[in-house]
A and B are shown apart, each in its own frame.
Chain A
Amino acid sequence: MRRRESEGILNGTPASPGVAKGKVRIILGFESLNKMNHGDILVTKFTNPLFTPAILMASAVVTDEGGTLCHAAIVSRELGIPCVVGTQKATKILSDNEEIVVDGEKGEIERCQA
């Protein structure tokens, strides 16, 4: 059963299994790819091949749009990192540097306690 947003949970479509904890890095376009550090969680609207250098550095990927066959999902599965797609609003409600846990099997993103 899906947990509610009031519990600090953001839901999406599970796209690649695994659990990862890390800092949010919101990347909205190719120009801001250099913001990404190794181990960050890439949060974006949707990815395309231009995002590859950032995905290769990410510990998990979260997107607003896309399904289980989108670029983010396929590449994350190949890399073996968790991925949740289609959250609709991850880029709007998450902020850079906040710590989150991504569960790619349940399709959940949870904020870590400060």
Chain B
Amino acid sequence: MPGMIDKLCNTIAECLGGSGKEAGFTVWPSPVFNPIEAEMYLAKYFYERFYESVKKLEKEGYCKADIARMLKAPSRIAQTTWPMSSIKLASLNKEQRINLVLGIMDFISFYRKDVFCEKKKNLLYSEPGLERVFNEIKVVDLQKEDNSEEFKRELSKLNAALFSFTELLYFAIHAVGHEFHGPYNIGKNEIMVVREFYDLKPDFWPFTSPLPFDSIKIWAVYNSKTNMEFDFFNRIRSSTPVSENLRKFSIKLNGRLLSEAGKIKEVTREIEASLKKGIPEIAKLEKTALMKKYVEAYFFILKPLQDKLGKDWRPPLQLYEEIESNSRKKLWQEISKALQKSKKLPLEEFKKKTATIFDPR
């Protein structure tokens, strides 16, 4: 199993290198603060809680598969590895750290065989599962629709608005609010990509409460020439136009199928309204207040485990106090300097160094 940890560290390094070496400096919550700074504060408490809650649940008789199911989706689980560069701040010994990280890989493997998305795919449906889905959903075939261009425009706008919304709520770990999976080869020169968005109304963002839905699922069928690649953290890369290659789609909102362009427009308007309400509120937040929200987004991942144990899901008070007192200021200054320096390294050297930093052993 130690091979899995090496593979994980290399995957994280590969993902960071592939995003551009300035990644941490340009992802939301930047420019307010670098996510790595917040992860230095939360890593200790987050990993301690993760380890303890898994152990307690196992003691209560829940197996790995049960816990994986509680954690909802593989890419959401993968987000828990981002703060690993600070995992040694947690009161866990080496064996416990290894145990936790291997457990995380186990939870992901419950959902997908290719844990690290090495084939640049995120395949969650089995073959019979794919067939079952096709029987359940009612697809809109754009080749049979007069207003196919309007459908394409509306669907792409909805996807863009939803993606931005999840990033607004969950920052750099936006996959806490979505699971994109596929591409599934479905024959007839077609591929299918599924975009699932959920937990769109987390209680740590009260501005989302008027939103009339909490989840939405979009099945999109494209011409097979559409190139879409998925990584471990659920980011999609594509070198071909996506929306213009759309052939068929289906949307399920709060469990109900939608098939009219007007209805899709309505959903986009709801998301835009929520964005317009939330953006000014969030833009007003100062660094400390925004960092508290960032750590809440992380602890929200563990909420189902805490709920099952009958405990409060919110971060411990000490974590809020440490953020308020800026207790890791000096350490962050040192790390920030080192990060600036590492940006200048050749890509391969950068990846090698990054893999070492994330190693929990």
Give Cα A95–Cα B130 distance, bound, in whole angstroms: 51
Contact A66 B283 (CB under 8 A): no
Contact A65 B26 (CB under 8 A): yes
Chain A contributes a number of interface residues (CB within 8 A of B) equal to 26
Residue of A52, A53, A56, A71 with most partner-chain B CB within 10 A: A52
Contact B167 A49 (CB under 8 A): yes
Chain A residues with CB under 8 Å of B238's CB are 77
Contact A17 B22 (CB under 8 A): no
Interface string of B246-287 (1 = CB under 8 A from A): 000000000000000000000000001001100100110000
Given contacts A50-B279, A69-B235, contact A17 B163 (CB under 8 A): no
B96 to chain A, nearest CB (A): 32
Residue among B27, B159, B272, B275 making CB contact with A70, cutoff 8 Å: B27
Q: Is A112 an interface residue (CB 8 A)?
A: no
Chain B contributes a number of interface residues (CB within 8 A of A) equal to 39
Residue of A13, A55, A56, A69 with most partner-chain B CB within 10 A: A69
B246 to chain A, nearest CB (A): 9
Residue of A50, A66, A78 with most partner-chain B CB within 10 A: A78
Give Cα A83–Cα B224 distance, bound, in whole angstroms: 23
Q: Is A74 an interface residue (CB 8 A)?
A: yes
Chain B residues with CB under 8 Å of A67's CB are 18-20, 22-23
Residues of chain A from 81 to 114 with CB closer than 8 A to chain B in the complex: 86
Q: Is B28 an interface residue (CB 8 A)?
A: yes
B148 to chain A, nearest CB (A): 14
Q: Is A6 an interface residue (CB 8 A)?
A: no
B115 to chain A, nearest CB (A): 20
Contact B241 A80 (CB under 8 A): yes
Chain B residues with CB under 8 Å of A65's CB are 22, 25-26
Q: Is B299 an interface residue (CB 8 A)?
A: no
Contact A50 B18 (CB under 8 A): no
Give Cα A39–Cα B183 distance, bound, in whole angstroms: 32
Residues of chain A from 17 to 72 with CB closer than 8 A to chain B in the complex: 17-18, 30, 46, 48-50, 52-53, 55-56, 65-71
Chain B residues with CB under 8 Å of A68's CB are 18-20, 237
Residue among A50, A70, A74, A80 making CB contact with B163, cutoff 8 Å: A74
Given contacts A46-B26, A52-B275, A66-B22, contact A75 B241 (CB under 8 A): no
Contact B160 A48 (CB under 8 A): no
Chain B residues with CB under 8 Å of A78's CB are 156, 159-160, 163, 242-243
Contact A48 B30 (CB under 8 A): yes
Give Cα A48–Cα B294 distance, bound, in whole angstroms: 15
A30 to chain B, nearest CB (A): 5
> B244: nearest residue on chain A (CB-CB)?
A80
Residue among B236, B241, B282 making CB contact with A74, cutoff 8 Å: B236
Chain B residues with CB under 8 Å of A48's CB are 27-30, 167
Chain A residues with CB under 8 Å of B240's CB are 17
Interface string of B1-39 (1 = CB under 8 A from A): 000000000000000001110110111111000000000
Interface string of B318-353 (1 = CB under 8 A from A): 000000000000000000000000000000000000
The 10 closest A-B pairs by CB, nearest first: A67-B20, A48-B28, A49-B168, A80-B243, A78-B160, A52-B164, A46-B26, A78-B159, A69-B19, A30-B283
Can you list 7 A-B contacts (CB < 8 A)? A48-B29, A48-B167, A66-B22, A74-B236, A78-B160, A79-B157, A80-B156
Residues of A at the B interface (CB closer than 8 Å) are: 13, 17-18, 30, 46, 48-50, 52-53, 55-56, 65-71, 74-75, 77-80, 86
Residues of B at the A interface (CB closer than 8 Å) are: 18-20, 22-23, 25-30, 152, 156-157, 159-161, 163-165, 167-168, 231, 235-244, 272, 275-276, 279, 282-283
9 new A-B contacts, CB < 8 A, other than A56-B157, A70-B23, are A17-B239, A50-B282, A69-B20, A69-B237, A70-B19, A71-B27, A71-B28, A77-B238, A78-B159
